[in-house]
Amino acid sequence: MAHRIALLVSGASGMLLPRHVLGRLAAHPEVETVHLAVSAGASQVLRHELGPEQTGAADLADAAGLAPEARAKVRVHRDNELDAPIASGSYPLTGTLVLPCSAGTLGALATGSARTLIHRAGAVALKERWPLVLGFRETPYSLVHIENMRRLVYAGAVLLPPVPAFYIGGEDLGRFLDHYTLRLLDSCGVREPGEPGLRWGEERP
């Protein structure tokens, strides 16, 4: 099965997450295309967390260290590119990932705002009943956050915050990133075996 995935990066901390997920998605043999969009706010966080040369989606794709055949799968979009394929329900996607998902993006999706490509692509996923997975990156939660999450869960979204899975053991950040990526891909129906010990009940290395 050929998967088409949208990876939408909004302006919250945690830019190692989309970089890691992008690398795994683009290298996956069953993934046909990864549509990548980075918000203006996310560009600022990228520069702060991954270096001043990181200015947008193209730089994030390059930073993922993809092989040429994997890099060719990545289609980069501007966040104001409202005529991009992922802005239309007539362009089916296997799943839409918002990672990290900022509180502002969470609120926009909960209220149906579609002023940007990221907001529009999320709204399309909801109306088409495609998997919309939100890596909400905020703590502690306010009542506003909780109400927005409640509305989105009722609308069909999956809230999958990047919470460490301590049961996998080890102190390596890479193991957390690998496990979280497996959970994200599973939520979109993209199966990947992963490393030993990253799934519950598997033998730890």
Q: For residues 194, 195, 200 and 204, what is the CA-based torsion angle, rounded to 10 degrees?
A: 180
Q: Which residues of the chain have pLDDT under 70?
A: 193-197, 200-205
- The whole-model pTM stands at 0.94
Length of the chain: 205
114-165, pLDDT tens digit by residue? 999 999 999 999 999 999 999 999 999 999 999 999 999 999 999 999 998 8
pLDDT the model gives residue 168: 83
| Long-range interactions of 188-196: CB distance < 8 A, separation 24+ | 188/3, 188/5, 188/94, 188/95, 188/97, 188/131, 188/133, 189/3, 189/94, 189/95, 189/131, 190/3, 190/5, 190/25, 190/28, 190/30, 190/31, 190/94, 190/95, 192/24, 192/28
pLDDT the model gives residue 123: 98
Beta bridge partners of 8: 37, 98
Whole-number Å distance between alpha carbons of 122 and 133: 9
The secondary element (H helix, E strand) that includes residue 20 is helix 16-27
Task: With H, G, I as helix, E, B as strand and everything else as coil, classify residue 180.
Answer: helix
Token readout for 171 is 């102190």
The whole-angstrom distance between residue 66's C-alpha and the CA centroid of its chain comes to 17
Q: Please name each of the domains of the chain with its CATH number.
A: 3-187 (3.40.50.1950)
pLDDT the model gives residue 72: 96
pLDDT the model gives residue 201: 66
